[in-house]
Amino acid sequence: MPGITLGDTVPNLEVETTHGKFKLHDYFADSWTVLFSHPGDFTPVCTTELGAMAKYAHEFDKRGVKLLGLSCDDVQSHKDWIKDIEAFTHGSKVKYPIIADPNKEIIPQLNMIDPIENGPSRALHIVGPDSKVIISYIITCMILLVNFGFVIYR
């Protein structure tokens, strides 16, 4: 399996996001971060999950945890998708950045690959203040939703 695994330091990649360009370690900046990926914009399951993250964002904020999404489309598509997510998730705003990976170069470096499909997956890494992965999930079943309430209290 390519990329990082539990205990590994997340590579300090420069990424383009809905909030501009930055290096991952600068974003992590000595805090906990939930880094989550989705194969593509505008899919029903991914839209629901990003909306759930927007809904729970205040709970992560209270705990000093940052959120960082990743999807295999470009920044403009993400910005258009955010409007759709917010319309679907009444009263919630997507305030966290979403990384653009239209060439699918970042996903394998972060080991957010579906082992069955051998392509981008719905995945989640919890990254510690030292930029190391401490918990990792890869969701291969497209009908299952990530329980972000569980992630908060994990």
Catalytic residue, chosen from 4, 10, 24, 46, is: 46
What is the share, in percent, of the chain residues with pLDDT greater than 90? 63
Average model confidence (pLDDT) across the chain: 87
Q: What span, in angstroms and rounded, lies between the C-alpha atoms of 97 and 105?
A: 18
Residue 144 has pLDDT above 50, yes or no: no
> In the 8-state DSSP scheme, what is residue 8?
P
| pLDDT 10s digits, 40-72 | 898 877 888 899 899 999 999 999 999 999 999
Task: Establish whether 46 is a catalytic residue.
Answer: yes
Terminal alpha carbon distance of the chain = 25
- Of 46-60, 99-113, 130-144, the least confident: 130-144
* Contact call for residues 98 and 70 (beta carbons, < 8 A): yes
Q: Is the pTM of this model over 0.85?
A: yes
Highest mean pLDDT among 90-94, 136-140, 145-149: 90-94
Q: Which residue segments constitute the domains of the chain, with CATH numbers given?
A: 14-153 (3.40.30.10)
